C-alpha cells in the first residue's frame, strides 16, 4: 500500500474534489458492507485507516478493533469524534447500551463530510465550543457531547445539496433511521 493513507492526502489537499470523494466513499462503503455481511463491525473508520494502493484503490486497514456483532456488543472503540452516538449512550443504571453495524455508517458519514469539507463535523472548533458551552470541562467530553447532541454543520459553500443530504442521513443520531441501517444498497 504505497499510496499512503487518505488522512495524509486530505491534509495535503485540504479537501477532495467531488469525483475523488465519490470514488473513495464508494470503495469504503463496499468494504464496510463486506465486513457487515460477515457479521463484523469495523468500529475504527477514519481517513488514516484507509490506505491507497499504487493503482489508486482504497483499502480499509487496521482491523484491530473489528469484532463479531453480538447482542451484547457495547463500549466505545475507535477514535473519538468518529464514534456513533450509540457507542456513548448509557441506560438508566449507567451501563453502556449495545449496538451493531450502524456505528460504522455514522463513522462513514464523518469521513464523507471530512472528505468534502476538510473537517470532521465532530472534531471541529464548532463541536468543541458546543460541548464547552454545555459545561463539559474537557476536550474529550465536549466532543462526546457534540456527537450526542449537535447537528452537524454542513456549510453550503462546501456541500452541494445532495452531498449535505447524504451526510445528514449518515450522521442521523437515531441508529434506527440512519442511512445504512439496511446495508449499503
Active site residues: 44
* 103 and 84 Cβ atoms separated by less than 8 Å: yes
Collapsed DSSP state (helix, strand, coil) of residue 160: coil
Collapsed DSSP state (helix, strand, coil) of residue 86: helix
CA dihedral sign of residues 184, 82, 135, 124: negative
Amino acid at each position: 500500500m504505497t499510496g499512503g493513507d487518505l488522512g495524509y492526502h486530505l491534509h495535503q489537499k485540504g479537501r477532495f474534489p467531488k469525483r475523488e470523494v465519490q470514488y473513495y466513499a464508494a470503495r469504503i462503503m463496499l468494504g464496510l458492507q463486506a465486513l457487515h455481511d460477515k457479521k463484523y463491525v469495523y468500529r475504527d473508520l477514519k481517513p488514516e485507516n484507509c490506505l491507497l494502493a499504487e493503482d489508486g484503490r482504497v483499502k480499509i486497514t487496521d482491523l484491530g478493533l473489528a469484532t463479531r456483532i453480538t447482542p451484547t456488543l457495547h463500549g466505545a472503540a475507535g477514535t473519538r469524534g468518529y464514534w456513533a452516538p450509540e457507542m456513548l449512550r448509557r441506560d438508566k443504571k449507567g451501563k453502556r447500551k449495545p449496538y451493531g453495524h450502524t456505528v460504522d455508517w455514522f463513522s462513514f458519514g464523518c469521513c464523507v463530510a471530512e472528505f468534502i469539507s476538510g473537517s470532521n463535523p465532530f472534531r471541529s472548533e464548532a463541536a468543541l465550543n458546543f460541548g464547552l458551552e454545555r459545561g463539559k470541562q474537557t476536550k474529550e467530553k465536549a466532543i462526546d457531547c457534540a456527537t450526542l447532541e449537535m447537528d452537524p454543520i454542513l456549510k453550503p459553500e462546501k456541500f452541494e445539496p445532495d452531498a449535505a443530504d447524504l451526510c445528514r442521513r449518515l450522521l442521523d443520531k437515531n441508529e434506527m433511521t440512519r442511512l445504512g441501517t439496511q446495508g449499503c444498497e
